[in-house]
């Protein structure tokens, strides 16, 4: 990498959120996308110190190698938590996330694998317990999406892939985590504004996000009987690798401009919602969905 490119990437990482208004056309050809290939690169750390609100905690974050997951991992580490990152196969992104976590003096355990396979979810839980002896926070976050304009073009294979990636692991991870979670521990599920507004280009993806909201509500009561709080976050448009990996270059260029804020969020702008739900500051919030979406009005 030459000095000019390095300087540009460094500048992007330090850019203000308003700079995200301008996104050049771009396209990636593999899901869920590679963060290091994005222009501008997402900003996942706001540069502000944490307050120690998660000191001594252990958090598992699926899809924690990039995008929202990486921003949540960084924010949790800044608040004092050790982090387990479960991810598919984006090894370089995962290594960068681990380096950022360690920068704040916390441990990072990387576990690659396809979480649509139930036994891989159990492996994540087992390895986390073997390494840290406890789990305090589970963030179900990993997802993929595939654009189709017509329902006739959504094949059975695509439908199965979207649901097995986006919702099955939420059940699997929660099921295997629950025996290890104690009173006061939390599960946070990543939904989406598409669960409430839909997206005509993402019919199957929107359906899985609606399922996540319903799962959060349904699971919150039995989990609460065991002292565990379950909530969800439904972000609006966020500049993550899923975007250039899903949409054509023109759509990417216009991404987020239809919100009242006229831009997509940087991942770090979403992470605070997860920190809030992970701490005792949200102790009376159960089965709810928080909406950091740039001003879109949602009837939840």
Give the span between the Cα atoms of 76 and 55, in whole angstroms.
9
Kindly report whether the peptide bond that precedes residue 40 is cis, defined as omega within 30 degrees of 0: yes
Strands 108-112 and 229-233: unpaired
Give the span between the Cα atoms of 124 and 110, in whole angstroms.
9
Residues 6+ apart with CB under 8 A from 178: 223, 226, 228
Residues 6+ apart with CB under 8 A from 85: 61, 64, 65, 69, 73, 94, 97, 98, 108, 109, 110, 111
Terminal C-alpha separation, the chain: 47
* DSSP, residue by residue, 150-165: SGGG--HHHHHHHHHH
Give the span between the Cα atoms of 69 and 138, in whole angstroms.
12
- Catalytic (active-site) positions: 205
User: What are the tokens at 158?
Assistant: 């695509």
Q: Provide the sign of the torsion angle of the four alpha carbons 19, 292, 26, 70, taken in this order.
A: positive
Taking each helix axis from N to C end, the angle separating 203-224 and 156-166, rounded to the nearest 10 degrees, works out to: 30
């Amino acid at each position: 990498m030459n000095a000019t490119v390095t300087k540009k990437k460094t500048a992007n990482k330090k850019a203000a959120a308003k700079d995200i208004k301008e996104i050049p056309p771009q396209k990636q050809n593999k899901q869920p996308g590679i963060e290091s290939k994005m222009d501008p690169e997402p900003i996942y750390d706001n540069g502000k110190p944490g307050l120690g609100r998660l000191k001594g905690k252990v958090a598992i974050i699926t899809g924690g190698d990039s995008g929202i997951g990486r921003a949540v991992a960084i924010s949790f580490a800044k608040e004092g938590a050790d982090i387990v990152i479960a991810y598919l196969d984006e090894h370089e992104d995962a290594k960068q996330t681990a380096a950022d976590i360690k920068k704040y003096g916390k441990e990072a355990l990387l576990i690659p694998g396809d979480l649509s396979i139930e036994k891989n979810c159990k492996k994540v839980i087992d390895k986390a317990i073997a390494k840290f002896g406890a789990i305090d926070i589970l963030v179900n976050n990993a997802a993929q999406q595939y654009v189709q304009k017509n329902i006739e073009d959504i094949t059975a294979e695509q439908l199965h892939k979207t649901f097995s990636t986006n919702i099955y692991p939420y059940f699997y991870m929660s099921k295997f985590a629950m025996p290890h979670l104690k009173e006061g521990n939390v599960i946070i599920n990543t939904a989406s504004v598409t669960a409430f507004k839909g997206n005509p280009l993402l019919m199957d993806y929107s359906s899985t996000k609606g399922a996540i909201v319903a799962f959060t509500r349904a699971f919150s009561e039995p989990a609460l009987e065991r002292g565990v709080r379950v909530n969800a976050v439904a972000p609006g448009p966020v500049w993550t690798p899923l975007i250039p990996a899903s949409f054509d270059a023109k759509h990417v260029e216009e991404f987020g401009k239809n919100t009242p804020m006229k831009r997509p969020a940087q991942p770090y702008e979403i992470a605070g919602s997860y920190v809030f739900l992970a701490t005792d500051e949200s102790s009376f919030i159960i089965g709810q969905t928080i909406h950091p979406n740039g001003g879109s009005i949602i009837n939840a």
